[in-house]
Amino acid sequence: MPAAILLICGIVAFSCCAEKPAINPAEDTSQFVTLTDAVPDAILEIRYFSTYNFVGSRIDGYQEPTALLTKQAAKALRAVSDDVAAQGYRLKIYDAYRPQCGVDHFVRWAADLSATEMKTYFYPDLDKSLLFVQEYIMEKSGHTRGSTVDLTLFDMQTEKELDMGGTFDWFGPESHPDFCGNPETGEYTGDNSKSPTGRSITEEQFRHRMILRRAMLAHGFKALDTEWWHFTLRDEPFPDTYFTFPVKQLK
């Protein structure tokens, strides 16, 4: 065989055997799924793709109005969906995986004390300068690890969101699961002493929060003590990885 052909064959063989460039773990989407592929009944209202959020503009990294989760979290959420469906509800998703650039966008916004366009809707009782101090905004988020979801319940009989007594992303003690009740026992107490302006929620609204909470905890999620809508898979697969890929449909 001519030497030139041998050389070409050698180059081809070397190229085939050469290792592919390593993928940055933070950019690896292989262990994620599009949430609605795993939970087809879920309703999406991706607030950070829209302008109706506490910032007032679309958040960096949200390229499409979809939701992504790790495979493990999505499987657990499917079990939650089946559970609440038997009770007459559907899951409504506000946010799931959040890229680090989205969190960085929140941090920049929080540092700009003049940007208060959405204060009336999301933090009327809070001075914006306290967002970092009270940890409403942080430089890292569990959402970025891919197994955290923000959600509520949709009542299939009334065809409306279940009344939770407060909006998603409300910055204040009124969003705490223990506001006006004991989330461990499900008992409504009516104690609104934590509210700086005397706001309250009704027994029915507290009960609605507990329906969501019980279903999430029963299927492997853990709650956050400051947000009734926020849950993280208890055995999340990537507890130390903060992903960077954008929110868009997975191919």
* 155: enclosing H helix or E strand: strand 148-155
Coil, strand, or helix at residue 96?
A: coil
* Length of the chain counted residue by residue: 251
Q: Return d(Cα 230, Cα 149) in angstroms, integer.
A: 6
Q: State whether the Cα torsion 37-39-44-47 is positive or negative.
A: negative
Select which of 45, 159, 204, 227 is catalytic.
Answer: 227
Q: Return d(Cα 43, Cα 116) in angstroms, integer.
A: 29
Q: Using a CB cutoff of 8 Å and minimum separation of 24, what contacts does 182-191 make?
A: 183/209, 183/210, 183/213, 183/223, 186/210, 186/214
8 A C-beta contact, residue 84 and residue 215: yes
8 A C-beta contact, residue 70 and residue 237: yes
Exposed e or buried b per residue across 115-145, where buried means at least 16 C-beta atoms within 10 angstroms of its C-beta: eeebbeebbeebebeebeeeebbeeebbbbb
| 227 included as an active-site residue | yes
Positions marked catalytic: 227
